[in-house]
């Protein structure tokens, strides 16, 4: 018993009291800051090192919806690309995930998430989500699991994952959507009653990520339904996901 009490004291409080203000360690790769004027090399060579085709030119840009945050371009760009530890990188518009040279984090954050006031009116203070792993590597799924643990405690905001789509207000997709999982994803979506939201989590769900060129994917679903929220990362940090949902629901 004494040993347990000592352990409890040593661990201290595990919970993050303020999810909104919490910051991540310096080594976390979050929002990229790009300064094209610092790059004097060959842009085509720089784009060629990216495994997912996330680097664009004219202007130099990074598509966070494709980026797996491997950091290789930061090493090769001689200071033109720097990943900050700023983690609120989600957006309600797919196009806004493309970060061009010169775009500051604050500027991105000011318009990234268009709050869905109407949804909040309907759903009140509760949001139940059904997570569908459509061929993911389990990285995104583990981080989503962590959202409900004692550290992040997403449930305190009334946001929970539920087992049945019949009990859900929306679908959270992870993984690149393999051919085998496409019908199951579609069935789960249809089983959620209207109005419902769709959240794409991770590079795989948003763009196919490293699997984008695979012939075993069937991504027709993302062309057919409206995706309300894009949460980039590989995998996204729990704080990125929770803050994105809170912003979307205007639950500050």
Q: Is there a contact between 235 and 202 (Cβ–Cβ < 8 Å)?
A: yes
Asked if 200 is part of the footprint of ligand SF4 (rule: CB under 6 A), the reply reads: no
Asked if 90 is part of the footprint of ligand SF4 (rule: CB under 6 A), the reply reads: no
Phi and psi of 33, rounded to 5°? -105, 130
Asked if 69 is part of the footprint of ligand SF4 (rule: CB under 6 A), the reply reads: yes
Q: Which of 19, 55, 80, 129 binds ligand SF4 (CB under 6 A)?
A: 55
Q: Min. distance of Cβ 79 from ligand SF4 in angstroms?
A: 14
Which are the contacts of 75, defined by CB distance < 8 A and separation ≥ 6? none
Q: 119 vs 222, which CB is nearer to ligand SF4?
A: 222
Question: CA–CA separation, 42 vs 150, rounded Å?
Answer: 47
Residue 223 DSSP SS3: helix
Q: Between 131 and 150, how does the x/- string for binding to ligand SF4 read (CB under 6 A)?
A: -----xx-xx----------
Name the residue with the smallest CB distance to ligand SF4: 139
Q: Which of 34, 50, 146, 177 binds ligand SF4 (CB under 6 A)?
A: 50
Interface stretch with ligand SF4, choices 10-18, 51-59, 163-171, 191-199 (CB under 6 A) = 51-59
Half-sphere exposure for 134 (CA within 13 Å, toward CB): 40
Report DSSP letters for 125-191, one per residue. T-EEEEEEESS--SHHHHHHHHTTSTTT-GGGGTEEE-S-GGG-SEEEEES--BTTTHHHHHHHHHH
Q: Which of 30, 31, 34, 54 binds ligand SF4 (CB under 6 A)?
A: 54
Asked if 242 is part of the footprint of ligand SF4 (rule: CB under 6 A), the reply reads: no
Q: Min. distance of Cβ 4 from ligand SF4 in angstroms?
A: 35
Q: Is there a contact between 111 and 96 (Cβ–Cβ < 8 Å)?
A: yes
Asked if 36 is part of the footprint of ligand SF4 (rule: CB under 6 A), the reply reads: no
């Amino acid at each position: 018993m004494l040993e347990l009490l000592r352990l409890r004291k040593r661990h201290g409080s595990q919970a993050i009291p303020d999810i909104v203000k919490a910051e991540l360690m310096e080594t976390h790769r979050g929002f990229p800051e790009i300064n094209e004027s610092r790059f004097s090399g060959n842009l085509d060579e720089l784009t060629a090192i990216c495994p997912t085709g996330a680097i664009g030119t004219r202007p130099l840009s990074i598509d966070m919806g494709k980026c797996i945050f491997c950091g290789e371009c930061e090493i090769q760009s001689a200071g033109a690309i720097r990943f900050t530890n700023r983690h609120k990188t989600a957006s309600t518009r797919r196009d806004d995930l493309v970060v061009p040279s010169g775009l500051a984090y604050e500027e991105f954050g000011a318009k990234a998430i268009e709050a869905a006031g109407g949804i909040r009116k309907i759903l009140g203070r509760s949001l139940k989500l059904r997570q569908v792993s459509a061929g993911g590597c389990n990285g995104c799924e583990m981080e989503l699991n962590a959202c409900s643990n004692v550290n992040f405690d997403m449930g305190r905001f009334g946001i929970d994952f539920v087992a049945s789509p019949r009990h859900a207000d929306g679908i959270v997709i992870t993984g690149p959507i393999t051919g085998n999982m496409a019908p199951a994803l579609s069935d789960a979506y249809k089983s959620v009653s209207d109005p419902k939201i769709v959240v794409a989590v991770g590079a795989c769900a948003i763009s196919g990520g490293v699997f984008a060129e695979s012939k075993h994917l069937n991504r027709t679903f993302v062309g057919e339904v409206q995706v309300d929220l894009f949460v980039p990362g590989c995998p996204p940090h729990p704080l990125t996901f929770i803050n994105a949902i809170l912003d979307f629901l205007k639950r500050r």
